[in-house]
Amino acid sequence: TVLADQIAAGEVIERPASVVKELVENAIDAGSHEIDILVAEAGLKSIEVIDDGDGIAADQLELAFHRHATSKITDRKDLFKVHSLGFRGEALPSIASIADVEMVTSTGGEGQVIHIAGGKVISQKPAEARRGTDITVKDLFYNVPARLKYLKSLNTELSKIVDIVNRLALGHPQIQISLTHNNRELMRTAGRGDLRQVIGSIYGMNKAGKMLPIDSADADFKVSGYVSLPELTRASRNYMTILLNGRYIKNYQLTKAIIAGYGSKLMVGRYPVAVVNLEMDPLLVDVNVHPTKQEVRISKEPQLSTIISTAIQEQLSQQNL
């Protein structure tokens, strides 16, 4: 029902950035090579995500907007096992219950366009489209005034969008991703699979030049990525990104391990820029945490922390720092 969808939306869709996250994850899951994100008024006016992925077949289109109609997996334990980012089939129905949604999609042949608002299908008909999906979400929260009130300033909402797009881009260097706000392009990655290039697109090429590669492994974990020279620091922890099997996570202990790798080379209150990729058996990941909250626990965390710290420490000492 629309009401059930709106209740689910309360959990999944907190703010415009949540919509961006869900739509871009869907585009990634669809095997896209290029994803363009166009946002107006920090997403409150409109959010459009254009991809060149698999598209949705005409007879599946309405179904995709039904709750738990995921074409992906059913067991949340599979979360870190499979490559797909979505798995609950909740995002599209949730979004469509609290906004005006138009989706144009094609699996290669003739396309379809569906228009849904307030959870009700208004129309669906054939449309000219190239392979892929173009979804536009307008007037988010128009029927949930309480949620609108809770939102922060447009600048804050936009910064949350930028932040989530950055993390998704860092996790997917092989996909060309662009973000445009009010017709101004804020970011575009090259999609060449080069993580340093993505870091450059996000933090600036100068800064990417001050990044050192790390690479380390033991029987359980593989750690790779880039960490900044100690001279490139920030007054915020937000420039450290941890990706676990391709998925952006938040983890206090592992963030501490990155900082510990620098030892006394960091000034108090300063933090490095870092992108740390972790690969491990999904069985070592505790997914017993709300999936959209991005916080996960990992077994053998102290062991992993040591690998991260040591990898950074060794790389810095090789530079005679």
**Which of the listed partners (ligand ADP, Mg ion, none) does 196 bind, with a CB threshold of 5 to 8 Å by partner kind?**
none
91 touching ligand ADP, by CB under 6 A? yes
272 touching ligand ADP, by CB under 6 A? no
Task: Identify which of residues 65 and 221 has a Cβ nearer to ligand ADP in the complex.
Answer: 65
Question: Hey, which residues between 107 and 136 contact ligand ADP (CB under 6 A)?
Answer: 133
Task: Identify which of residues 133 and 201 has a Cβ nearer to ligand ADP in the complex.
Answer: 133
Residue from 12, 58, 87, 101 touching ligand ADP (CB under 6 A): that is: 87
C-alpha–C-alpha distance, residues 321 and 233, integer Å: 15
Residue from 19, 64, 244, 257 touching ligand ADP (CB under 6 A): that is: 64
H helix or E strand, kind and range, residue 212: strand 211-217
Long-range contacts of 112-121 (CB under 8 A, 24+ apart): 112/56, 112/58, 112/61, 114/61, 114/62, 114/65, 116/65, 118/2, 118/143, 119/2, 119/5, 119/6, 119/93, 120/2, 121/62, 121/65
Residue from 44, 56, 58, 91 touching Mg ion (CB under 5 A): that is: 91
Compute how many residues bind ligand ADP; rule: CB under 6 A.
22
DSSP secondary structure letters along 243-304:
EETTEEEB-HHHHHHHHHHHGGGSPTT-EE-EEEEEEE-GGGEE--S-GGG-B-EETTHHHH
C-alpha–C-alpha distance, residues 165 and 286, integer Å: 25
For the CB of residue 25, give the shortest distance to ligand ADP in the complex, in Å.
Answer: 7
Task: Identify which of residues 97 and 201 has a Cβ nearer to ligand ADP in the complex.
Answer: 97
- Residue 15 tokens, joined: 């703010």
* Closest C-alpha among 101, 105, 240, 235 to residue 170: 240
9 touching Mg ion, by CB under 5 A? no
Task: Identify which of residues 83 and 222 has a Cβ nearer to Mg ion in the complex.
Answer: 83
166 touching Mg ion, by CB under 5 A? no
38 touching ligand ADP, by CB under 6 A? no
For the CB of residue 250, give the shortest distance to ligand ADP in the complex, in Å.
Answer: 20
Q: Where does this chain bind ligand ADP (CB under 6 A)?
A: 22, 26-27, 30, 51, 53-56, 64, 69-72, 86-92, 133
